[in-house]
Amino acid sequence: MEKFFEGLNDVQRDAVKTIDGPTMVVAGPGSGKTRVLTSRIAYMIFQGIPPHQILALTFTNKAAKEMKERIYKVIGDQAFQVWAGTFHSIFARILRIECEKIGFAKDFTIYDSDDSKNLVAAIIKDMKLDDDVYQANAIRNRISSCKSNLITPKMYAMDEKLKEQDRAAKKPYLVDIYTTYVARCQRSGAMDFDDLLYQMFRLLQQHPETLEKYRARFPYVLVDEFQDTNYLQYAILKKLCLYEGSAQNICVVGDDAQSIYGFRGATIENILDFEKDFNNLKVFKLEQNYRSIDSIVKAANDLISNNTRQIQKEIWTSNDSTEKIKLLSALADTEEARRVVDFILEQKNRNHLPNRDIAILYRTNAQSRIFEEYLRRANIIYKVFGGLSFYQRKEVKDMLAYMRLSVNQNDDEAFRRIVNYPRRGLGQSSLEKIMEFALHNNCSYWDAIKGVDLPNRAKTILLDFAKMILDFKEKSATLDAYELANHIAQKSGVLNELKGDKTIEGIGRIENIVALLDGVKEFVDNDELLTQNNIEDKTLTSYLQSIALVSDLDNLEEDADYVTLMSVHASKGLEFQSVFVVGMEEGLFPSQLSINEKNEIDEERRLFYVAITRAKKYLTLSYAKSRYRFGQMKQCEPSRFLLEIDAKRFESTNAIKTSMAPSTTAAVKSGLSGFYKPISKPQPVNLGIDIADFKASPTSQLAIGQAILHTKFGKGKILKIDGANDNRVATIKFDDLDDPERRIMLRFANLMILN
């Protein structure tokens, strides 16, 4: 039995042993929560609980895979009988079994965010609404929010407050778009990501016998990252676990201080108020951090203490180190990128860090560009996460649309994408007639083929297309996913179409199709993968479901040697020896959109908490005093969050000594003032002239190689000038500074040319 508790501390052991009744494990960053969760499941099975009666819900496929692999090491093959996976993948699996009860065929399509947005755009067009007012992405997000809060189209139509909001926003037809969107998805036999939750709730709500079936099937439920659940996810959990006579065997694991997905609908109240629903709750706090060194852990505590409503805990570590946090101050965003890359080179050389141990984290994906440029110049291999996913590339989506239509002919979005690709000579007017016929007859585009009145040539083209798709459908009964996908690629004309493009980009598209087919082959051949993911057959339908729920981070190659660039949101759950959190400025981090809202500032602070706790040993924070925003050079203030970390956590570098003044909006804590004072009194610079005689030269006269004088830095020489017009920046080497090279924006420089 001791093997279940090996390497666990006392609190972790108690959490593992407590398998009955409601349990909450409050797990600070790097506190070994995954080990507790997996040890607990293994111990439950050892105690005689059948593994197929355990439901373990996660937020990433990567976390579910890691969980099963760890359990396997302890108890063997029984690990793969546990129903472990993401909310979406587990519910999709159940819906495949039960969906006919709520009016869906078993081969239903799963729409990704692009499919959903395209459908919304088509509805806006059909309703002849102004797409500048009714923006597809915003409307799609509104629909998502409604589903996540269990607001049906009918409830929306009866809610005067919601409709008044829409009228005030000059979008009175939003409820009609929502109603039509739901009807079109049902007609197309499609569910979007939100539907995998919403339709699951609907199934349990409307079919009591099905609810009882799954209550009996899963008497033990475990939830990882519980702080990230939304209203709908928690409503499903309560359906399964909170009812009269229930043993309430639910264990939730999470950290309120890492709740960072409010913009997606995550509800921090789920974890803060969990005890109100489960009043016999046992709480275990994992406060020992095994990941990070002392200065990082204490900085995280300093920071999060500024949030008001939270579960009280004090994270600590025994990882002693003299290493402190570095702070880089740069004149502009280009200098910030250069200095960060210089530090990376230094860490690689001095500390022998491989690329894979280093990450650059930022608040918005758009910040990656300048760091990519400097990493390329330094010949450092890197990979950006959060850009265009492999499965979002046009040629890949085209191929997948053929596969989707082959298993579900009512999939309107797939039909629309490929009915005239490769080009078959079908005119735009014919396509519009198909869509109008489908709209007026409330049928799918596929069914419209039979009834729509078209010229003979167009009719022949459509019938040939339908014959090809039905051939693919027929072959799906005898071919596995790879055999069918390969047949579709050859016979659809997509490969021949792409082979005609001999450019580098065209060759890349062919390679992407080949990579897609290789992925299908791996799916078919890897029996272990199928077992681990509870996939019961090798059909194209199963393959399409498996990739519909893949995220960009599930493809993170742990052994590949590249510097990781990603947003802080994407970094959650990861760890690196060295982390650079860049762009630490007011209006950027925290975001400008959150500055006036206390709850949103709290979430931004939790986001920064997540960022700094990704680092094991080396943490570097950086900010720029100016950066381009919307085509204009803007002056920047350091983030208020830097003020909230005790000065003792930082290394005494020139970056700290130079010009960092507290923001007027920041709440300054006791003991911080010394952080902003020079550590040693600066020596006055000898200008060599009377200050009264100083006269700034016109910036238009400044040129490379000139000797200049600056009132603060003294004499220097212009080495380089970048940019144009008002945005010119000079690199100047000053004579009397310890860190002599400075980049100064010329329009603010006040430089005097020396003869």
Q: Round to whole Å and give the CA distance between 473 and 79.
A: 35
Concatenated DSSP letters of 597-650:
-HHHHHHHHHHHHHHHTTEEEEEEEEEESEEEETTEEEE--B-HHHHTS-GGGB
DSSP annotation of 84 reads: E
Amino acid at 59: F
Q: What single DSSP character describes residue 307?
A: -
Question: What does the block give as tokens for 229?
Answer: 């659940």
282-286/23-27 β-pairing: parallel
Q: Positive or negative CA dihedral for 424, 428, 433, 439?
A: positive
Q: Report residue 429: phi and psi, to 5°.
A: -65, -35
By the 8 A CB rule, do 595 and 587 touch? yes
* Residues 290/317, Cβ–Cβ less than 8 Å: yes
Find the helix or strand (DSSP H, E) in which 434 lies: helix 428-441
Structure tokens at 276: 């109100």
Catalytic residues, which ones? Answer: 33-34, 224-225, 258, 614
| Residue 256, Cβ density class (10 Å: 0-12 exposed, 13-18 middle, ≥19 buried) | buried
For residue 623, list its beta bridge partners: 329
Residue with tokens 């984290």: 361
Helices 193-206 and 87-98: crossing angle, nearest 10°?
A: 50
SS3 246: coil
The answer to whether 132 and 139 are in contact (CB under 8 A) is no
Contact 257, 31 (CB under 8 A): no
In whole angstroms, give the CA distance from residue 276 to residue 149.
20
Q: Name the strands in the sheet holding 220-223, side by side, starting at the edge strand that comes first in the sequence.
A: 83-86, 54-58, 220-223, 250-254, 23-27, 282-286
Using the 8-state DSSP alphabet, how is residue 735 labeled? S
Burial class of residue 714 (count of CB atoms within 10 Å of its CB; 0-12, 13-18, 19+): middle
Q: How far apart are the first and last CA of the chain?
A: 84
Q: What is the DSSP string of 173-236?
A: THHHHHHHHHHHHHHTTEEEHHHHHHHHHHHHHH-HHHHHHHHHH-SEEEESSGGG-BHHHHHH
What's the distance, CA 56 to chain centroid? 21
Sheet holding 382-384, edge to edge: 326-330, 615-624, 576-581, 358-362, 563-567, 382-384
> How many beta carbons lie within 10 A of that of residue 56, not counting itself?
25
Q: C-alpha distances in angstroms, 91 versus 237, 289, 326, 532?
A: 12, 33, 45, 16
Q: Provide the CA 181 distance to its chain's centre, in angstroms.
A: 25
C-alpha–C-alpha distance, residues 655 and 690, integer Å: 30
Cα atoms in the Cβ-side hemisphere of radius 13 Å centred on 253: 25
Q: Where are the alpha helices (DSSP H) in 293-411?
A: 294-304, 333-350, 368-377, 394-407
Cβ atoms within 10 A of the Cβ of 549, count?
20
